[in-house]
Structure 1
Amino acid sequence: MTGSARTLLLTRGLRAFGDGFVALLLPVYLIALGFSPLQVGMLTTATLLGSAALTLVVGAVAHRVSTRRLLIAVSALMCLTGLAFAGLGGFWPLVIVGCIGTLNPSGGDVSPFLPLEQSMLAHSAPDAERTSLFARYSLTGSLMVAGGALAVGLAEQLGRHFAWTHLDIARGMFGLYAILGLVVMGLYRGLPAVESDAEKARQPLGPSRNRVFLLAGLFSIDSFGGGFLVQSLLALYLFQHYGLSLTTASALFFWMGVLTAFSQLASGRLARRIGLVNTMVFTHIPANICLMLVAFAPSLPVAIGLLLVRSTLSAMDVPARSSYVMAIVTPPERAAAASLTNVPRSLASALSPSIAGLLLTLSPFAWPLLIGGGLKIGYDLLLLLMFRTVKPPEEMD
Structure 2
Amino acid sequence: MFQRIITGLDEFRGIPREANLLIYASFFNWAAAGLLWITLQIYLVLEGLSFATSGIILTIIGITSASSTLLFGGLADRYGRKRFVVLGGVIASFTLVLFALVGTNLPLLVGTGVLSGLSEAMYASSWGAMLADKATDAKRTSAFSLSFFISTISAAVGGFSASILGLLKNWYSIDLVTGHRYLFLGVALLSLLGPGIALTVSESRSSEAGHMGLRIIPKKSRKTVAQYSVAGILIALGAGMVIPLIPGWALLKFGVVDDVSAPILGGVNSLVMGFANLAAPRLARRFGTVKTMVLTQGSSTVFLFSLPFSLNFASASSIYVVRSALMMMSNPVEQSLLMGLVPPEERSQASGVTASLWRLPNSLSTSVGAYFMGLGGALYLALPFFLCTALYLTSIGYFWSVFKGVRLPEEELVVAVPTAT
Instruction: Assess same fold via TM > 0.5.
Output: yes
Distance in 2 between residues matched to 1:58 and 1:174, nearest whole Å: 27
Residue equivalent to 1:96: 111
Any residues of structure 2 matched to 1:1-397 within 5 Å, and which?
1-89=15-103, 90-102=105-117, 111-194=121-204, 196=206, 199=210, 205-231=218-244, 233-253=245-265, 254-364=267-377, 365-396=381-412
| Preserved contact between residue 14 and residue 184 of structure 1 (Cα < 8 Å) | yes
What SS does structure 1 have at the residue aligned with 2:203?
coil
Aligned residues: 391
Q: Which runs of 5+ in 2 are unaligned?
A: 1-14, 416-421
Moved more, 291-300 or 180-189: 180-189
Distance in 1 between residues matched to 2:389 and 2:205, nearest whole Å: 44
Quickly say closer, same or farther: Cα 1:111–1:369, change in 2 above 3 A: farther
Distance in 2 between residues matched to 1:185 and 1:161, nearest whole Å: 34
Q: Deviations over 1:324-348 (max 9, x none)?
A: 0011122222222222111111111
Distance in 1 between residues matched to 2:235 and 2:298, nearest whole Å: 12
Q: CA RMSD in A?
A: 2.2
Q: Which runs of 5+ in 1 are unaligned?
A: 105-109
- Amino acid in structure 2 at the alignment position of 1:189: L
Quickly say closer, same or farther: Cα 1:154–1:173, change in 2 above 3 A: closer
Q: CA offset at residue 144 of structure 1?
A: 1.0
Identity of aligned residues (%): 25
Quickly say closer, same or farther: Cα 1:323–1:64, change in 2 above 3 A: closer
The two structures have a TM-score, normalised by structure 2, of 0.87
- Amino acid in structure 1 at the alignment position of 2:314: P
Distance in 1 between residues matched to 2:385 and 2:17, nearest whole Å: 41
The two structures have a TM-score, normalised by structure 1, of 0.92
- Amino acid in structure 1 at the alignment position of 2:255: G
Distance in 2 between residues matched to 1:133 and 1:287, nearest whole Å: 23
Q: CA offset at residue 101 of structure 1?
A: 2.0
Moved more, 385-394 or 263-272: 385-394
Distance in 1 between residues matched to 2:97 and 2:197, nearest whole Å: 20
Q: CA offset at residue 203 of structure 1?
A: 8.0
What SS does structure 1 have at the residue aligned with 2:220?
coil
Quickly say closer, same or farther: Cα 1:53–1:156, change in 2 above 3 A: farther
Moved more, 177-186 or 302-311: 177-186
